[in-house]
Amino acid sequence: MNDMTPIARTTTLKDWETDQEVRWCPGCGDYAILKAVQRTLPELGADPANTVFVSGIGCSSRFPYYVESYGFHTIHGRAPAFATGIKLANPQLDVWLVTGDGDGMSIGGNHTMHLLRRNLDCQILLFNNEIYGLTKGQASPTSRVGTTSPSTPMGSVDRPASPCAFALGSGARFVARGFDVSKNLPEVLKAAYYHKGAAFIEIFQNCIVYNKDVFDDFAAPKGADGRQLWLRDGEPMLFGSEKSGGTRGIALDAEKLTLKVVEVIDGDWQAAGVIVHDVKNRSVAHMLVELPFGPFPMALGVIYDDPRPTFEAAVHEQNAQASAGKTANLAALLAKGQTWTVGGTAQDPI
Amino acid sequence: MATAFADDPAARQARPADDSSPEAVVVRFAGDSGDGMQLTGGQFTLSTALAGNDLATFPDFPAEIRAPQGTLFGVSAFQINFGSTDIETAGDAPDVLVAMNPAALATNVDALKPGGLIIADSGEFTRRNLDKAKYAASPLDDGSLAKWQVMAFDIGALTLESVKPFGLGNKEALRCKNMWTLGLALWMFDRDRAPLIAWLKAKFAKNPVLADANVAALNAGHAYGETAELAGPLKQYHIAPVDSAPGLYRTVTGAEAVSLGLVAGAQLAGLPMFFGGYPITPASAILHHLVRLKEYGITTFQAEDEIAAICAAIGASYAGQLGVTSSSGPGIALKGEAMGLAIMTELPLVIVNSQRGGPSTGLPTKTEQSDLYQAIYGRNGDAPLPVVAARSPADAFECAIEACRIATQFMTPVMLLTDGYIANAAEPWKVPDVSTFKPFPVCFLEEKNGGDGELLPFARDEKLARPWIKPGTPGLMHRIGGIEKNPGTGNIDYSPTAHQTMTDLRKAKIDGVARSTPPQEVTLGETSGKLAVVGWGSTFGPIHQAVRRMRRKGFDVSHIHVRHIWPLPENLGALLKSYENILVPEMNTGQFKTVLRDQFLVDAKPLTKTSGQPFTIAEIEAAIGAFFDRIPGNEGGEVDADTTQLPSIKAVNP
């Protein structure tokens, strides 16, 4: 599936820092994500000269200015289209796309969908803070019903979109979740990088000014193990511990064709019917991204990872096929079709 | 056009004409949109070109793909003007009308010159079809066509007879009707059938029976003209070949010429090309052409929308290719914000706008020049970009190369304006000699360019262009974006001086493009005098012919046709001021007129037409005449819709 040859580290975290002052609000979750990325890139053996960070507009989209690589801060919602042009023009480049819930799910939802269905090889980091931060706190397409904001003073009435369900529905072949301060985020980033094709990661990110601690119900350290389901390929879907009310697991409710939470007694998860995570199981992935938080823990980590041929490879293959055995003779091209000659300097029609 | 315009029109006129043969003939083919009229017209065009005539065409078709059969609004027409002199318009009024059904006759017959010839398919003049065309009685019988000559015969029956041996079904057999008609037209104008037969054999290579049937119908139509003992007006014309410059010729439509020019431009720049497009009438043809030219280093991308098409093209330019996108008015409007980013990040990009009638969806299949303001001004902020306008299908080739040159040499988006008329119309084109093209190779920055080992992505050369830096280049990592930036490093800088400096630099860079473009020439006439008729884009043909005719009559009038719409040629202001009067004919409400007034404080008078029809020569002649008639205050104004021109008023609004 993925190339797991040992990586030669040629850079350190410092090499990925720019001389630009970071301008996010103090305490913003974006700092943690930036550090996680800068820490992960050396471990991937990435080359700054061969790396491009592309972003749209919003707090998250300032990201490229702080990474010492090539960076293109584009226009609102359109980063996927720029990334497509970049990757088609030069498939050798490592392309990272940084977007947010407003940029990627609202104004740019259409582009996100098409990039995923085409399967362009890139990593998409969607910072989901469930709010429009840079425009001072309006409700976003992922805000929960009832979110009060300057544009929804009586509470929002529109139902939120689920980025991971959207991604799967759009045909994504890699879907993962993490959150800003999670120690597991680098592991998720690595898996996304190793996935050849469009790798979609929803990263819950704490906007401490306009939507403070909105993810605390599952992200707060205290009792976290009972509210976070970290998915790992080939391992049973277990969460919780004695401290957080007992070990539990996810099992299939065969009658209703849904997932259910089961108690695991004495560690015997098999007896409890807990299922083993298979990153290639698309049906289960659909169920995992739709699990309602509360009755269920938050599904995190690599939910789905099953590569398919990439868009840029298909385009280049077709370009090569169409060009095979042909020469680019401009003079011949101009004189193509039915031609005629006038006067004494007749040339032979080509 | 096939020949240069510098030669003396009087000398050309003095050439003795063969008494029996006209210098130019206008033929209009009209039929149901399913009758294959565009194909018939296209093939007639090809054989006309092969016969050495100069020509211009005007394809006109409904916005509906298959309108209900036999209806007035389902009529599709194709007009061709060809002759032994230079042809620059599709002709004012036709000499010959081929009407494949009553609706085609009803919608087009008023356009026909008095005494002109109608060829009608009498087999289609049934009660049902007459009703659909709103004829109470058959015009073939009631004498209402008396001022024209009428030849009516049952083309359907004659076609069926000719393809009988091939055992086709009735429906398939009747599809050969257009080839029968074409055969007759080829006989009338003394055209060689061989290229057509070769084309049919190639087109139906997988179905030889169909190929043979079509060839048989073509031959039968030809033989009908040759052998049938027809009393009356059906006679053979011989149109002598035009006196063209020697060389190799082909026909070309504007969409083909733009595509070929882009290929040539990318080669001259030494770059692979990335084309991002989204389907839209009448611009899609460019995508269709380029997608078949992958061996020229072209990657095409059909994007999810107009915005993605331009953004992907900008992304490709950022990565070191020549990004190109193409659309028509509504799509160009959607691309506006991305153009601003290309201006802000100073990346090369070519944007082709095949203009159509607007605003909004407007007239998708009809022509207009009403996107001029949008091209020059249509973005947020002070966002200048160069604009180049093609005047004819063949001219679009050079204009496309020019757009590529400016884009890559000045690191800027450039808009190339054509229109629905140029995109679809065909004309003969003298195949240019590739060795005469001047290359403009680009170079990418490979090393840091600052004084003390610093990288300055927004340092500038003598043209004020910044360096082009490809991602992937070791040691030159940097960030660019749409936020205002430091004039050298390109780092975010909102400071008052940074914005003022950068705004000034962006403007000065585009203004400076004028120093790299040739001075404005007078296309026909003198460099001063009583009246200059100033045009841009596809009004070239009618303006040129009208000025030529009025000069022959002794009027002091000259024609100036502007290719570089923005920035305007450096000498244009002084040139315009050397005339007493300026008339600007445009297919819009007077946009270029306003630009000229603004830029040069000259009293340019508008002549506007917004009916979705090109100007006729007569309309511009009349407008020129108004400057010499000593009646004050009647100069310029608005030209009404012309009932005799394509698109037919009746077909559009039965």
pTM for this predicted structure: 0.91
Integer angstrom CA distances of residue A243 from A138, A235, A246, A247, B12? 38, 22, 7, 9, 102
Give the pLDDT of residue B196.
Answer: 87
- One-letter amino acid for residue A40 of the chain: T
> What are the helix and strand counts (H, E) for chain B?
22, 21
Listing DSSP states for B193-243 in one string gives SHHHHHHHHHHTTT-HHHHHHHHHHHHHHHHHHHHS---SS-----PPPP-
Q: Does A14 touch chain B (CB under 8 A)?
A: no
Instruction: Inform me whether the pLDDT recorded for A195 exceeds 70.
Output: yes
Query: What is the C-alpha separation between B545 and B561, in angstroms, rounded?
Result: 13
Give the pLDDT of residue B234.
Answer: 64
Contacts of A254 (CB under 8 A, 6+ apart): none
Instruction: Inform me whether the pLDDT recorded for A39 exceeds 50.
Output: yes
Q: Does B25 touch chain A (CB under 8 A)?
A: no
> How do residues A231-288 score in pLDDT, each as one tens digit?
999 999 999 998 888 899 999 999 999 999 999 999 999 999 999 999 999 999 999 9
A89/B320 touch (CB, cutoff 8 Å), yes or no: yes
Give the pLDDT of residue B48.
Answer: 87
> How do residues B9-18 score in pLDDT, each as one tens digit?
333 333 333 4
Q: Which chain A residues are Cβ-neighbours of B272 within 8 angstroms?
A: 89
- Please state at what angle helix B254-269 crosses helix B395-410, rounded to 10 degrees: 30
Where do runs of H (alpha helix) occur along chain A? 29-43, 79-89, 101-102, 109-118, 163-169, 185-194, 216-219, 269-272, 282-290, 311-323, 330-334
Q: Which residues of chain A are in CATH 3.40.50.970 domains?
A: 13-235+277-313
Query: What is the C-alpha separation between A202 and B551, in angstroms, rounded?
Result: 72
Query: What is the C-alpha separation between B536 and B422, in angstroms, rounded?
Result: 12
Residue indicated by tokens 């830029």: B599
Q: Does A322 touch chain B (CB under 8 A)?
A: yes
Length of chain B: 654
Query: What is the C-alpha separation between B152 and B139, in angstroms, rounded?
Result: 11
B359 preceded by a cis bond (ω within 30 of 0)? yes
Q: Which chain B residues are Cβ-neighbours of A170 within 8 angstroms?
A: none
* Secondary structure (H, E, C), A216-242: HHHHCCCCHHHCEEEECCCCECEECCC
What is the arithmetic mean of pLDDT over B217-237?
78
Higher pLDDT, B364 or A322: A322
Closest chain B residue to A340 measured between Cα atoms? B249
Give the pLDDT of residue A3.
Answer: 55
Q: Identify the residue among B45, B53, B192, B248 best suited for mutation to test binding to A, counting A beta carbons within 10 A and taking the highest.
A: B248
CA distance B382 to chain A (A): 17
Give the pLDDT of residue B231.
Answer: 52
Give the pLDDT of residue B497.
Answer: 97
Give the pLDDT of residue B10.
Answer: 38
CA distance A180 to chain B (A): 24
Pairs of residues, one from chain A and one from chain B, whose beta carbons lie less than 8 Å apart:
210
CA distance A146 to chain B (A): 33
Q: Which chain A residues are Cβ-neighbours of B267 within 8 angstroms?
A: 328, 330
Which parts of B13-52 are beta strand (E)?
Answer: 24-32
Query: What is the C-alpha separation between B57 and B254, in angstroms, rounded?
Result: 11
What is the arithmetic mean of pLDDT over B341-349?
98
Instruction: Inform me whether the pLDDT recorded for A96 exceeds 60.
Output: yes
Count other C-beta atoms under 10 Å from residue B247's C-beta: 18
Q: Identify the residue among A72, A120, A122, A317 best suited for mutation to test binding to B, counting B beta carbons within 10 A and taking the highest.
A: A72
Strand, coil or helix: B182: helix
Give the pLDDT of residue B654.
Answer: 64
> b/e per residue, B63-91, with b = 16+ CB within 10 A?
eeeebeebbbbbbbbbbbbbbbbbbbbbb
Say if CB A99 and CB A173 are below 8 A apart.
no
Give the pLDDT of residue B88.
Answer: 84
Say if CB B408 and CB B439 are below 8 A apart.
no
Tokens of B105: 């006759």
Q: Does B432 touch chain A (CB under 8 A)?
A: yes
CA distance B301 to chain A (A): 9
Say if CB B419 and CB B45 are below 8 A apart.
no
Query: What is the C-alpha separation between B334 and B313, in angstroms, rounded?
Result: 14
Contacts of B538 (CB under 8 A, 6+ apart): B367, B369, B390, B391, B392, B418, B419, B421, B422, B587, B614
> How do residues B57-108 score in pLDDT, each as one tens digit?
888 877 777 778 899 988 999 999 998 888 888 888 899 999 999 999 999 9
Query: What is the C-alpha separation between B392 and B390, in angstroms, rounded?
Result: 6
- Would you tell me which residues 149-188 of chain B have a C-beta closer than 8 angstroms to some C-beta of chain A? none
- The secondary element (H helix, E strand) that includes residue B12 is helix B9-14
> How do residues A158-174 score in pLDDT, each as one tens digit?
999 999 999 999 999 99
Query: What is the C-alpha separation between A18 and A38, in angstroms, rounded?
Result: 11
End-to-end alpha carbon distance in chain B: 35
Which of A207-221, A331-345, B1-15, B396-410 bottoms out in mean pLDDT, i.e. has the lowest? Answer: B1-15
- One-letter amino acid for residue A21 of the chain: E
Give the pLDDT of residue A131.
Answer: 97
Give the pLDDT of residue B20.
Answer: 55
Task: Compute φ and ψ for B239, nearest 5 degrees.
Answer: -100, 115
Query: What is the C-alpha separation between A224 and A274, in angstroms, rounded?
Result: 20
> How do residues B124-153 score in pLDDT, each as one tens digit?
999 999 999 999 999 999 999 999 999 999
Instruction: Inform me whether the pLDDT recorded for A94 exceeds 60.
Output: yes
Q: What does the DSSP 8-state code read for residue B530?
A: E
Q: Does B302 touch chain A (CB under 8 A)?
A: no
Give the pLDDT of residue B365.
Answer: 84
CA distance B543 to chain A (A): 27
Q: Which chain B residues are Cβ-neighbours of A75 within 8 angstroms?
A: 311, 337-338, 340-341, 482
Q: Which chain A residues are Cβ-neighbours of B313 within 8 angstroms?
A: 85
> How do residues B596-652 score in pLDDT, each as one tens digit?
999 999 999 999 999 988 899 999 999 999 999 999 999 999 998 887 787 777 776
Closest chain B residue to A74 measured between Cα atoms? B481
Contacts of B267 (CB under 8 A, 6+ apart): A328, A330, B296, B297
Higher pLDDT, B265 or B73: B265
- One-letter amino acid for residue A241 of the chain: S
Instruction: Inform me whether the pLDDT recorded for B301 exceeds 80.
Output: yes
Where do runs of H (alpha helix) occur along B64-151? 102-108, 127-132
Identify the CA nearest to B369 among candidates B560, B547, B591: B591
CA distance A250 to chain B (A): 39
Give the pLDDT of residue B112.
Answer: 93
- The ipTM assigned to this model is 0.96
> How do residues B362-404 score in pLDDT, each as one tens digit?
988 889 999 999 999 999 999 999 999 999 999 999 999 999 9
Query: What is the C-alpha separation between A139 and B296, in angstroms, rounded?
Result: 49
Task: Compute φ and ψ for A181, nearest 5 degrees.
Answer: -95, 10
Give the pLDDT of residue B229.
Answer: 56
Q: Identify the residue among A70, A95, A348 best suited for mutation to test binding to B, counting B beta carbons within 10 A and taking the highest.
A: A70
Closest chain A residue to B199 measured between Cα atoms? A338
End-to-end alpha carbon distance in chain A: 50
Q: Which of B248, B293, B476 sits opposite A347 (nearest CB)?
A: B248
**Degrees (nearest 5) of the Cα angle B489, B494, B500?**
85
Give the pLDDT of residue B9.
Answer: 39
- One-letter amino acid for residue B177 of the chain: K
Query: What is the C-alpha separation between B553 and B89, in angstroms, rounded?
Result: 20
Query: What is the C-alpha separation between B12 and B552, in angstroms, rounded?
Result: 11
B320/A82 touch (CB, cutoff 8 Å), yes or no: no
Give the pLDDT of residue B14.
Answer: 35
- Would you tell me which residues 86-145 of chain A have a C-beta closer than 8 angstroms to some C-beta of chain B? 86, 88-90, 92-93, 110-111, 113-114
A90/B491 touch (CB, cutoff 8 Å), yes or no: no
Task: Compute φ and ψ for B153, nearest 5 degrees.
Answer: -150, 160
Helix/strand/coil percentages in chain B, nearest 5: 40, 20, 40
Burial of residue A264 (number of CB atoms within 10 Å: 0-12, 13-18, 19+): buried
CATH homologous superfamily for the domain A13-235+277-313: Thiamin diphosphate (ThDP)-binding fold, Pyr/PP domains (3.40.50.970)
What is the band of B4 on the pLDDT scale with cuts at 50, 70, 90?
very low
B49/A340 touch (CB, cutoff 8 Å), yes or no: yes
Instruction: Inform me whether the pLDDT recorded for B174 exceeds 80.
Output: yes
What is the arithmetic mean of pLDDT over B283-296?
96
Give the pLDDT of residue B350.
Answer: 98
Strand, coil or helix: A143: coil
Instruction: Inform me whether the pLDDT recorded for A2 exceeds 60.
Output: no
Q: Which of A88, A114, A339 sits opposite B304 (nearest CB)?
A: A114
**Chain mean pLDDT for chain B:** 91
Q: Does B205 touch chain A (CB under 8 A)?
A: no
Give the pLDDT of residue A6.
Answer: 67
